[in-house]
């Protein structure tokens, strides 16, 4: 399935020493990953046939031209319920818990997230954290890394002292990365993209949702035809149709 990502800074910590990754933007830079795990086969055809059931208009069923005409028409008229017959599932790696806390607010989306109750950082996986672009290359960056590392050191000390992981995790920062799998129907994905890909959205969820939108425009170009991606400004918006 499709996989894409964007580069941002992320820290890794073991004990009191940081591990650096020398990638093209320098140390601490890695890629978040957006992977399409599954999607409804022949999604747009299913949407058309479901829609035609409402009117019993199968005599007009003549794909692919009829598919594009009908789906665009129902979207323009706001009849979006038929889009719920198709779904997509994504795995997202490298996003912070700031990102996941925003993403799981979408109640019509189904999430399965890495659990800090059961995942032990430094054992099950490395402790990793995201450094926002506004902090990178400032006088605060090193302090940010230092404090995040100290929090992880205390976390490890508490776990070794047999304090439950579910309680030790309280010290970990929001910047901690968290893997998540999400499933949503096409109607909900359109809603997510409409509010999370615009300029006023938080930069991290906007970047990740832009990658999701790119995938969906390839997989279901008719359903998402009216979304325009502005690569220069890293935003997306619906075109007037």
**Residues classed as catalytic:** 196
Bridge partner residues of 129 (DSSP): 11, 176
Cβ atoms of residues 208 and 92 within 8 Å: yes
- Burial classification of residue 142, based on how many CB atoms lie within 10 Å of its CB (0-12 exposed, 13-18 middle, 19 or more buried): exposed
**Distance (Å) of CA 205 to CA 27, 40, 238:** 23, 24, 18
Residue linked to tokens 């506004």: 134
Query: At a CB cut-off of 8 Å and minimum separation 6, what does 168 contact?
Result: 155, 158, 159
Closest by CA to 206, choosing from 214, 197, 215, is 197
Query: At a CB cut-off of 8 Å and minimum separation 6, what does 141 contact?
Result: 131, 135
The 10 Å Cβ neighbour count of residue 33 is: 18
Structure tokens at 3: 């996989």
Under the phi-then-psi rule, with left for phi > 0, alpha for psi from -120 to 50, and beta for the rest, what region is 122? Answer: left
DSSP state for residue 193 in the 8-state scheme: H
């Amino acid at each position: 399935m499709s996989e894409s990502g964007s580069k941002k800074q992320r820290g890794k910590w073991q004990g009191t020493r940081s591990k650096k990754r020398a990638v093209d933007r320098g140390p601490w830079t890695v890629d978040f990953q957006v992977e399409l795990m599954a999607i409804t086969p022949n999604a747009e055809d299913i949407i058309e046939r479901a829609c035609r059931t409402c009117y019993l208009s199968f005599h007009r069923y003549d794909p692919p031209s009829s598919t594009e005409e009908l789906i665009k028409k129902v979207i323009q008229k706001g009849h979006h319920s038929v889009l719920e017959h198709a779904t997509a599932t994504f795995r997202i790696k490298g996003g912070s818990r700031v990102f996941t806390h925003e993403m799981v607010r979408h109640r019509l989306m189904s999430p399965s997230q890495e659990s800090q109750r059961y995942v032990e950082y430094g054992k099950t996986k490395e402790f990793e954290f995201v450094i926002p672009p506004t902090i990178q290359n400032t006088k605060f960056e090193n302090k940010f890394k230092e404090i995040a590392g100290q929090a992880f050191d205390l976390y490890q000390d508490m776990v070794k002292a047999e304090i439950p992981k579910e309680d030790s995790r309280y010290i970990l920062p929001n910047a901690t990365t968290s893997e998540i799998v999400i499933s949503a129907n096409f109607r909900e994905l359109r809603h997510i993209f409409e509010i999370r890909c615009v300029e006023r959205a938080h930069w991290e969820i906007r970047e990740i949702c832009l990658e999701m939108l790119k995938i969906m425009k390839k997989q279901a170009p008719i359903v998402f035809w009216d979304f325009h991606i502005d690569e220069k400004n890293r935003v997306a918006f619906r075109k007037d149709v």
